[in-house]
């Protein structure tokens, strides 16, 4: 499908079920390469990035089968290739996790420089610094990265302190260290829920990781890992996106299959904007009380306000009474959606990583999604806008949201794909 068409102004009611976490799948599916056995992974989201990850696993000679839409069996007893094909790897950021997992299992891994959403500079120096500290040699050539362990040697444990909090490098080095000789310490580690999930997966398959969820993670390398079963956590950002959708459109929506604790800082911002959020057992009920009020946010690593919810909240700010501000502290270029929302009448001043938004009424317009969360923000704005909005380039949205059109339609939104 090419575009979504949304007629705004319908309140949302009912229940929506959240799928498994995209950014947990991003490291755990490559992480099955650590395991000389069969992994059964539950709660896997049916999204484009997962399909691409499975294509990469296939290209390495690994076999997989779907037990049902959200349950996968991956058999990594045999690996035939150590190289992620360029045409697949460049299409997503998370392809770099194949480096950590393949290096750990085979001592030799190559992958193209990763692609993914264009959010400004996205270096991977911290990943490479960690591989080197563990004894790997890193070569860069023709936009390709190769990491190898010298003949006759193994990766060894190391004490690694990151220069900044990085989710990707924390997870990549957890993968690399899982089968290394000795202990690895990751200091200034990221604490996101999907990092705890990756540790849970590795431990379920016979690995030994402690401290995930704090800023110091210890990985005791084991000689091999066995098959087993693991269920991914629900997607914090998909849940937050439906919370923002309910706040924009009005009405009352129960968001099911969530871990409310992961949503608390998103709930706090919504409450500040005059939206009620009631925690249930594995669910949150989101109800808009009246007009949205302005607020201010600063993005940060977990448990701070997630950058991946910044555009969705930015869309709400475009509808709120008064002036709101955003400081985007993680990415250098994550306000392009605000420029696109100007077509709907949204008012914003952008200065580097700082934006000031003056809220008001929005009108339907023709928009183009510029990245995954920007596309989600455009849907949220369109649900509340007067008239018809068309959003093009929706393949970017489908990278990370399972069946967003079906889920919103079930809540009463007037949305369809063409």
- 370 catalytically annotated: no
Rounded Cα–Cα distance for residues 136 and 153 (Å): 9
Sorted by sequence, the CB contacts under 8 Å of residue 383 that are 6+ apart come out as 6, 8, 10, 12, 245, 248, 249, 408, 413, 415
> Which CB atom, from 26 or from 209, has the smaller least distance to ligand EPU?
26
User: By the 8 A CB rule, do 365 and 338 touch?
Assistant: no
Sorted by sequence, the CB contacts under 8 Å of residue 182 that are 6+ apart come out as 156, 157, 220, 221
Among all chains, which residue has been given the structure tokens 């004894």?
A: 135
Residue nearest to ligand EPU (CB): 168
The piece of 3-11, 12-20, 125-133, 342-350 that touches ligand EPU (CB under 6 A) is 125-133
Nearest to 338 by CA among 302, 284, 374, 289: 374
The piece of 163-171, 204-212, 223-231, 382-390 that touches ligand EPU (CB under 6 A) is 163-171
Helices (H), 8-147: 22-31, 48-59, 86-89, 97-106, 125-133
Rounded Cα–Cα distance for residues 343 and 369 (Å): 13
Catalytic residue among 39, 76, 117, 318: 117
Nearest to 1 by CA among 417, 405, 403, 396: 417
**What is the contact mask toward ligand EPU in residues 9 to 28, using x (rule: CB under 6 A)?**
--------------x--x--
* Residues 41-100 contacting ligand EPU, CB under 6 A: 93-94
Least distance CB 406 / ligand EPU (angstroms) = 21
* Residues 201-220 contacting ligand EPU, CB under 6 A: none
The piece of 72-80, 117-125, 244-252, 382-390 that touches ligand EPU (CB under 6 A) is 117-125
Least distance CB 280 / ligand EPU (angstroms) = 26
> Which CB atom, from 174 or from 292, has the smaller least distance to ligand EPU?
174
Rounded Cα–Cα distance for residues 205 and 200 (Å): 9
Least distance CB 407 / ligand EPU (angstroms) = 18
**What is the contact mask toward ligand EPU in residues 240 to 259, using x (rule: CB under 6 A)?**
--------------------
> Which CB atom, from 198 or from 341, has the smaller least distance to ligand EPU?
198
The piece of 37-45, 166-174, 263-271, 360-368 that touches ligand EPU (CB under 6 A) is 166-174
The upper half-sphere exposure of residue 1, i.e. CA atoms within 13 Å in the direction of its Cβ, equals: 17
Is 373 one of the binding residues for ligand EPU (CB under 6 A)? yes
**What is the contact mask toward ligand EPU in residues 323 to 342, using x (rule: CB under 6 A)?**
-------xx-----------
CA torsion 144-150-154-157 (nearest 10°) is -70
DSSP state letters, 286-339: EEE-SS-B--EEEB-STTSB-GGGHHHHHHHHTTSBSEEEEE--S-SS--HHHH
**What is the contact mask toward ligand EPU in residues 297 to 326, using x (rule: CB under 6 A)?**
----------xx------------------
Binding site for ligand EPU (CB under 6 A): 23, 26, 93-94, 117, 121-127, 164, 166-169, 190, 307-308, 330-331, 372-373, 400
Which residues are tagged catalytic?
A: 117
């Amino acid at each position: 499908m090419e575009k979504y068409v949304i007629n705004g102004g319908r309140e949302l009611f009912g229940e929506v079920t959240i799928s498994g976490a995209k950014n947990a799948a991003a490291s755990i599916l490559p992480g099955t390469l650590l395991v000389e056995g069969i992994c059964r992974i539950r709660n896997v989201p049916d999204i484009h990035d997962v399909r691409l990850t499975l294509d990469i696993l296939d290209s390495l000679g690994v076999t997989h089968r779907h037990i049902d839409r959200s349950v996968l069996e991956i058999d990594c007893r045999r690996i035939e290739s150590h190289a992620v094909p360029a045409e697949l790897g460049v299409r997503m950021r998370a392809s770099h996790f194949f480096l950590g997992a393949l290096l750990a299992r085979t001592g030799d891994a190559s992958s193209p420089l990763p692609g993914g959403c264009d959010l400004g500079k996205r270096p991977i120096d911290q990943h490479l610094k960690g591989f080197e500290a563990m004894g790997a040699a890193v070569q860069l050539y023709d936009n390709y990265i190769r990491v190898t362990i010298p003949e006759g040697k193994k990766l060894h444990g190391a004490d690694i302190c990151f220069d900044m909090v990085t989710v990707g490098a924390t997870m990549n080095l957890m993968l690399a260290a899982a089968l290394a000789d000795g202990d690895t310490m990751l200091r200034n580690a990221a604490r996101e829920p999907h990092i705890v999930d990756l540790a849970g997966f590795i431990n379920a398959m016979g690995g030994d990781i402690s401290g995930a969820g704090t800023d110091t993670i210890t990985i005791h390398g084991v000689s091999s890992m066995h098959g087993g079963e693991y269920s991914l956590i629900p997607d914090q950002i998909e849940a937050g996106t439906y919370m923002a959708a309910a706040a924009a459109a009005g009405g009352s929506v129960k968001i099911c299959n969530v871990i409310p604790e992961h949503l608390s800082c998103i709930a706090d911002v919504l409450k500040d904007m005059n939206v009620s959020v009631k925690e249930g057992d594995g669910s949150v009920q989101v109800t808009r009380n009246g007009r949205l009020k302005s607020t201010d946010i600063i993005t940060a690593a977990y448990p701070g306000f997630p950058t991946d919810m910044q555009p969705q909240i930015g869309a709400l700010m475009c509808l709120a009474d008064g002036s709101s501000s955003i400081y985007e502290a993680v990415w250098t270029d994550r306000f392009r959606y605000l420029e696109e929302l100007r077509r709907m009448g949204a008012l914003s001043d952008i200065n580097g990583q700082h934006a000031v938004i003056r809220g008001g009424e929005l009108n339907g317009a023709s928009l183009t999604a510029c990245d995954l969360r920007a596309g989600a923000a455009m849907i949220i704005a369109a649900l509340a806008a007067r008239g018809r909005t068309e959003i093009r380039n929706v393949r970017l949205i489908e990278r990370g949201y399972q069946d967003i059109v079906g889920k919103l339609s079930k809540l009463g939104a007037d949305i369809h794909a063409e």
